[in-house]
Amino acid sequence: MGYAIYKRRKKTLLFLTVPFLVSLFFFLIAVVWTIFISFTNQKLTGIEAINPKIIGLKNYLYILKNSTFIDSLTITANFTFLSAIIGQCFIGILLAAFVRQGFIKRPVFIEIPILLGWIVPDTVAAFSWLALVDDTGFVNQVLSWLNIESTGSLMEHHGFFIITVNNVWKGLAWSYLLFTAAIDGVSREILEASTMDGVSAGRQIYHIIIPSILPQIFINLLLITIWTVGVFSIPYIMSNGNPDTNILGVFMYNQAFASQRIGLASSISVIMTCIVGVFAALYFYFQKKYEE
């Protein structure tokens, strides 16, 4: 009976959603148009900018044979695995579990720093990190205290490592908060009883905590994987065009705006969307499954 009063004014009501639906539609068009451009030789300037020709699958054939692209895929995969799956998800579970197990008495002390990393603008995160890894920056200061000879510009030689660690620094808060909320459902009594019986902390995490928050772990893994595949800003600001920070987002941007090959860049976008799409499909599948 609930919405009976709106029945006869249904059309008026739906009218309210028009701007929203327009924006959804716009999004859909953007996706479809990306696919279309990826089949053309569209450029940013010149004749091909005004009159792009349809060249079929040529962009895809070219890009899949291009060794820089394959490298970029590998870098993105490593970046995602190390920074999202290990760095954010795994460490997030451990920290949340330590708090629940009583190892960390005052969680607020780690929460505030971790969350600050999460909320600062990308530009600030990138530039403050650039200062830290600068030739005279903090990292080199520490290295010289430890009497380790620095090997020139850190960003140039260890770029991949730096953007990976940076992404953990930036993103851990999300997983930590999510798992803290999930672990709240794990009974403290069970944990205490098992400690009495001599179960070690590691086994508690493996046998009690992880099984009881498995749905959240799955869903979080998929979400952060999707987001990490699409990362652009911080690696772009931090990198100086060194090849080992060339993740997919940066590679695509450079193809589109530096090399001006929009068609080619679109095919990279489509491939990116397909990769993300697989994870998104899994996400929806698990979401449905756990809701039932």
Partner 1 sequence: MKKKLSSRIIMNILIGFIILFWITPFSWILTTAFNPYASSALQLPRYITFEHFQKALQDDRIVLWVFNSLWVAVAVATLTSIIVIMAAFPFSRLEFRGKGAILWFIILVRIIPFTATILPIYLFSSKIGLLNLGGVVLYQSVFAIPFGVLLMKSFYDIIPFEFDESAALEGASILQIIFYIIAPLSRSGIIVIWFMTFLQSWNDFLFPFIFSRTEAQHTMAIGLYSAFKENNAIDYGLLAVLSIIYCIPSVTLYFFARNKMKTGFAGVGVKG
Q: Which of residues 16-75 bind partner 1 (CB under 8 A)?
A: 16-17, 19-21, 23-24, 26-27, 29-31, 33-34, 37, 42
Interface with partner 1 by CB under 8 A: which range of 54-62, 65-73, 79-87, 219-227? 219-227
Segment contacting partner 1 by CB under 8 A, of 57-65, 71-79, 96-104, 152-160: 96-104
98 touches partner 1 (CB under 8 A): yes
Among 81, 45, 84, 66, residue whose Cα is nearest residue 252: 66
Query: Which amino acid appears at position 238 of this protein?
Result: M
Number of residues that bind partner 1 (CB under 8 A): 100
Q: How far is the CB of 148 from partner 1 (least distance, A)?
A: 16
Residue 112 tokens read as 């505030």
Q: Which of 85, 157, 230, 242 binds partner 1 (CB under 8 A)?
A: 230
Smallest CA-to-CA distance from 238 within 149, 170, 146, 148 is with 170
Q: Please, where are the H alpha helices in 80-158?
A: 91-101, 108-119, 122-132, 138-145, 154-157
User: Which of the 8 DSSP states describes residue 136?
Assistant: T
Query: d(Cα 216, Cα 210) in Å, to the nearest integer?
Result: 10
Interactions with partner 1, residue window 101-160 (CB under 8 A): 101-104, 109-110, 113-117, 119-125, 127-129, 131-132, 134-138, 141
To partner 1, the closest distance from the beta carbon of 74 in angstroms equals: 18
Q: Which residue from 66, 253, 260, 282 is in contact with partner 1, where contact means CB under 8 A? A: 253
DSSP three-state, residue 48: helix
